[in-house]
Amino acid sequence: MTTSPSVRPAASHALTTGFFGDPDFDFETRLALGATTYGVGDPGSVLATVAGIADGDRPGWFTAWSQRGDRFSALGAAADGDGDAPGAMWAYLAASAAYSQALGAVDGLPRDRTGAVMLPTFRSSRRAWDAMIDASGGRFVRVAIPYDGDTLPGYLLRPDAGGAARPTFVMTNGSDGPLSSLWSSGAAEALARGWNAFVYDGPGQQSLLFERGVPFRPDWEAVLTPVVDTLVARADVDPSALTAYGISQAGYWLPRALAFEHRFVAAVADPGVVDVSTSWLDHMPPEMIALLDGGRKDTFNGYMAEFAGSDPDMDRTFAFRARPYGIDDPFDLFTTLRTYQLRDVAAQIRTPLLITDPEDEQFWPGQSEQLAALLTAPHEIASFGVADGANFHCQPLAPRQTAHRMFGWLSGQLAGRGAG
């Protein structure tokens, strides 16, 4: 069979330029399509959903993905009723992911709708996720992590319900990622290899943000160490075979925690993030940076107030990205963001680290190499590129290529320690 040359420019355009002109819609579409390689919905359902959405139409995005979530939820309930556990798990996982896609557009809705739909949409996603857990036949279990006088919700995903001690892949999400996104970012691959995968919500993430109002914190060792303490006490976790993974902004959080938490055999930062603030400050005029550097809070906030309302896209993005930090004052927010950096602690990391470095990285370009340069621990850089369809932040269209590279490396690290 021959391929018409006329097809190639369109495929190349999709890989490098995008499915949408709107960068958020394009990236989220890539993520959704990539997730289907691990059974989260179908490519057809993703394409059918986005086909009816006008470029940049956030109410349309929210409606289309909410309706897709409803349809998958109905499929899950029907399969549950028929005793079809695998079918129920597939549909509920797809539903959870679809509702989370809808949630990403909430800040683009009219202001009177944003608050009304944010929590219900999150809860629809989490109900579907929990229904998937319940349909697993005991393979997947809830694990509460003691934290700051309360608990963090965690889930230990196991290949079977037998309870044997296994290598365990501990996954830390990014700033706005749902638990369902971790399925295709490594959880499914870990299960296929006979490992456990552990996923959880930390401060500022998902249930901690939407239901409790708990904000981000820079010192993630205060989060990850209780996770490790809980896991190593379990009979179904091999304490000598713990590995860790941090995706997106967790490319900062995980290395930060590893500077203090040394019980992991090896870890992966996808990608490396030395300084979280650059993804904000690189888009700010030099004059505003000078005000920030000079501590001129009132003047800085005055200019920020002038900008507010002048650019709806900027206002929407700012609201979305600022919410998990729990700081309303712009000067205080940007000052806090500058504390999310690894320069002061990277040399304390002992854990061998694999750092992904995708071509066309949108948010922290060049920082994977910067992190590698700061490390004294053993480390490798895993490069990905457009030639393999693996470009952009966290390689959204190439989750299996990413998994192949990182699990091969992690397995080697475990073998070197006599585990695995």
Q: What residues contact residue 112 under an 8 Å CB cut-off, 6+ apart?
A: none
- The position carrying tokens 């018409």 is 4
**In CATH, which of 1.10.10.10, 3.30.930.10, 3.40.50.2000, 3.40.50.1820 is domain 137-276+340-416?**
3.40.50.1820
As a whole number of angstroms, the distance between CA 291 and CA 296 comes to: 5
Measured CA to CA in angstroms, residue 217 lies from 76, 177, 295, 419 at distances of 36, 16, 22, 33
Angle at 250 between CA 59 and CA 238, to 5 degrees: 125
389 Rama sector, left if φ>0, alpha if ψ -120 to 50, beta otherwise: left
Measured CA to CA in angstroms, residue 44 lies from 32, 40, 172, 319, 357 at distances of 11, 11, 29, 32, 29
**Cβ neighbours of 333 (radius 10 Å):** 17
At 71, which helix (H) or strand (E)? helix 58-81
Q: At what angle do helices 23-35 and 43-51 cross, to 10 degrees?
A: 160
Question: Burial of 369 by CB count in 10 Å (0-12 exposed, 13-18 middle, 19+ buried)?
Answer: middle
As a whole number of angstroms, the distance between CA 10 and CA 6 comes to: 8
> Got the DSSP string for 319-372?
HHHHGGGT---HHHHHHHHTT-B-TTTGGG--S-EEEEEETT-SSSTTHHHHHH
Residues of the chain with CATH 1.20.1440: 21-131
Residues of the chain with CATH 3.40.50.1820: 137-276+340-416
Q: What is the pLDDT of residue 177?
A: 94
Tell me the CA end-to-end span of the chain in Å, nearest whole number.
Answer: 43
Token digits of residue 290: 């000078």
Give domain 21-131's CATH architecture: Up-down Bundle (1.20)
As a whole number of angstroms, the distance between CA 334 and CA 282 comes to: 12
As a whole number of angstroms, the distance between CA 54 and CA 25 comes to: 10
Q: What is the pLDDT of residue 262?
A: 98
pTM of the model: 0.94
Amino acid at 176: D
As a whole number of angstroms, the distance between CA 394 and CA 16 comes to: 15
As a whole number of angstroms, the distance between CA 101 and CA 40 comes to: 12
Q: What is the pLDDT of residue 419?
A: 56
As a whole number of angstroms, the distance between CA 48 and CA 396 comes to: 19
Are the beta carbons of 20 and 26 closer than 8 angstroms?
Answer: yes
Are the beta carbons of 331 and 359 closer than 8 angstroms?
Answer: no
Q: What is the pLDDT of residue 5?
A: 45
- The position carrying tokens 């579409």 is 29
Query: Which value, to the nearest 10 degrees, does the dihedral of the CA atoms of residues 60, 66, 67, 71 take?
Result: 160
212 beta partners: none
3 state SS of 141: strand
Over the chain (420 residues), the average pLDDT of each successive run of 10 is 44 70 95 98 97 95 98 98 98 98 89 85 98 98 97 98 98 96 98 98 97 97 98 98 98 98 98 97 93 96 83 76 92 97 98 97 97 98 96 97 98 83
